[in-house]
Amino acid sequence: MHDQTSIVNQSGHTLGLDISTSITGVTVLDNEGKLVYNEFWDTRNKNKFPCLYAKGHLIKDKLWNEIRNNFSINKIGVEQSLHTFRSGFSSAQTLSTLSRFNGIVCWLCYDIFDIKPTLISASSARKRSGLKIKRGENAKQKSFDFVVDKEPSFVVEYTRHGNIKPGILDKSDSYIIAKAAFLG
């Protein structure tokens, strides 16, 4: 495990992406590993984004206008899409669609930044970031709690009923991916 304070990414920023066909979490860390951008890009509207290509078009625009025009990216980490079935979770169709969209966004990153994204599994990213998940614990919730605890500038929004708003967990997941990519 690397000492987080001793690593300095000399030449630029690190981009971390938690890609989904509904909401994509996006984080940029500066050359010292500090959070400088943390958002989610929402592509759930079926009228506005009727297919993967329309969703990809929004991601392309955001990568150009919000990321490339504002940050000097030199590392890109992307959460690796799921490869296996788990009872009660995604179907073959869903896994295939997610994998295709992940490929589209990875290609966009390569095309826009001329950098091959590093695919990082969620469990590897958590370990690299210093987060330990015990068997049976809710990994998504533990990751969220870890980011809230470690990153004071991470913004959490709640619904009027006190639930975490959609997109916030995606933002925290992208932070974990960015941190793992930064630490290498």
What's the domain range around 106? 13-183
Residue 2 falls inside a structural domain: no
Residue 74 falls inside a structural domain: yes
The model's pTM is: 0.89
CATH of the domain at 102: 3.30.420.10
- Residue found under tokens 């009228």: 47
The one-letter amino acid code at 111 reads D
For the chain, the domain total comes to: 1
Helix H, strand E, coil C: the string for 130-142 is CCCCCCCCCHHHH
Residue 6 falls inside a structural domain: no
Environment class of 84 (CB within 10 Å of its CB; exposed 0-12, middle 13-18, buried 19+): exposed
Residue 36 falls inside a structural domain: yes
In tens, the pLDDT along 36-52 reads 999 999 999 999 999 99
Residue 59 falls inside a structural domain: yes
Residue 4 falls inside a structural domain: no
- In angstroms, the CA 2 to CA 27 distance is 20
- In angstroms, the CA 88 to CA 104 distance is 27
pLDDT tens across the length of the chain (184 residues): 333 433 444 579 999 999 999 999 999 999 999 999 999 999 999 999 999 999 999 999 999 999 999 999 999 999 997 655 455 556 778 888 899 999 999 999 999 999 999 999 999 999 999 999 988 889 889 999 999 999 999 999 999 999 999 999 999 999 999 999 999 8
Residue 7 falls inside a structural domain: no
Residue 38 falls inside a structural domain: yes
Name the helix (H) or strand (E) containing 169.
helix 168-183
